[in-house]
Structure 1
Amino acid sequence: MSSQGAYGYAVARIRAMEHRLLDSGVLQRMIDAEDFASILKILGETSYSSALTSQTNGSDFDKVLEADLHSIYEEIRTFVPDKAMVDIMRLQYDFHNVKVLLKSMFNVRTGGKKRWDLLTSLGSYPLDDLIMNVESEEYRLLPFGLNTLIPKCITIWEQSRDVLEVERLIDKRMFEVMLEKAHELDMPGIISWIRTRTDGENIRTLLRLKRFNYDASKALPFLHDGGTIDVSMLASLISEPFETWGRAIEFSDFGKIIGSIDASGGYSDLILSLERVLDDCYMEKIAAGRYSPSAPENIPAYLWAKEMEIKNIRVITVSKRNKGDKDHLRRLMRHGYV
Structure 2
Amino acid sequence: MAVQGAYGYVVARLRAMEHRFLDASFINKLVESDDVQSSLKLLGDTIYGQFLSSQRSDRFDEALESALLDSYLEVRGFVPDVALVDVNRLYYDIHNVKVVVKSAILSKRGGKKRWDLMTSLGSVPVDDLLEAVESDDYRMLPLGLGEVIQGCFAVFEQTGDPMDVESLLDRYYFQILEEVVKETSLAGLSDWVKEKVDGENLRTLFRLKRMGFDSQMVLPFLYPGGKLDRSDLISLLSEPVSAWSRVLYCTSFSQLFSAIGDQMSLEEAMPLLEKALDDHFSAYWNRYRYVIDAPENVLAFLWGKEMEVKNVRMILVSKATNYDKERVRRLLRHGYP
Conserved 8 A contact 1:157-1:166? yes
TM-superposed deviation, 1:185: 0.6
Conserved 8 A contact 2:259-2:272? no
Cα distance in 2 between the residues matched to 1:261 and 1:294: 38
1:48 aligns with 2:48: yes
Conserved 8 A contact 2:241-2:261? no
Conserved 8 A contact 1:289-1:295? yes
1:284-325, CA deviations, whole angstroms, 9 ceiling, x for partnerless residues?
A: 011101012111111010100100011111111122222111
Percentage of pairs with the same residue: 47
Cα distance in 1 between the residues matched to 2:149 and 2:231: 27
1:325 aligns with 2:312: no
Counterpart in 1 of 2:82?
A: 83
Counterpart in 1 of 2:300?
A: 301
Q: In structure 2, list runs of 5 or more residues that go unmatched.
A: none
Return the letter of the residue paired with 1:66: E
1:127 aligns with 2:126: yes
Counterpart in 1 of 2:33?
A: 33
Counterpart in 1 of 2:110?
A: 111
The count of corresponding residues between Structure 1 and Structure 2 is 336
Conserved 8 A contact 1:263-1:270? no
Cα distance in 1 between the residues matched to 2:332 and 2:208: 25
Conserved 8 A contact 2:89-2:122? yes
Counterpart in 1 of 2:148?
A: 149
Counterpart in 2 of 1:244?
A: 243
Cα distance in 2 between the residues matched to 1:269 and 1:182: 35
Conserved 8 A contact 1:204-1:274? yes
TM-score (norm 2): 0.95
TM-superposed deviation, 1:191: 0.8
TM-superposed deviation, 1:232: 2.2
1:38-72, CA deviations, whole angstroms, 9 ceiling, x for partnerless residues?
A: 010110121111112233421x2111011111111
Return the letter of the residue paired with 1:281: H
Return the letter of the residue paired with 2:205: L
Cα distance in 2 between the residues matched to 1:176 and 1:155: 19
The secondary structure found in structure 1 opposite 2:9 is: helix
TM-superposed deviation, 1:201: 1.2
**Cα 1:220–1:290 shift into 2, 3 Å:** same
1:66 aligns with 2:41: no
**Cα 1:261–1:160 shift into 2, 3 Å:** closer
TM-superposed deviation, 1:141: 2.9
Cα distance in 2 between the residues matched to 1:265 and 1:61: 32
TM-superposed deviation, 1:262: 4.3
Cα distance in 2 between the residues matched to 1:262 and 1:291: 35
Counterpart in 1 of 2:285?
A: 286
The secondary structure found in structure 1 opposite 2:57 is: coil
TM-superposed deviation, 1:257: 3.4
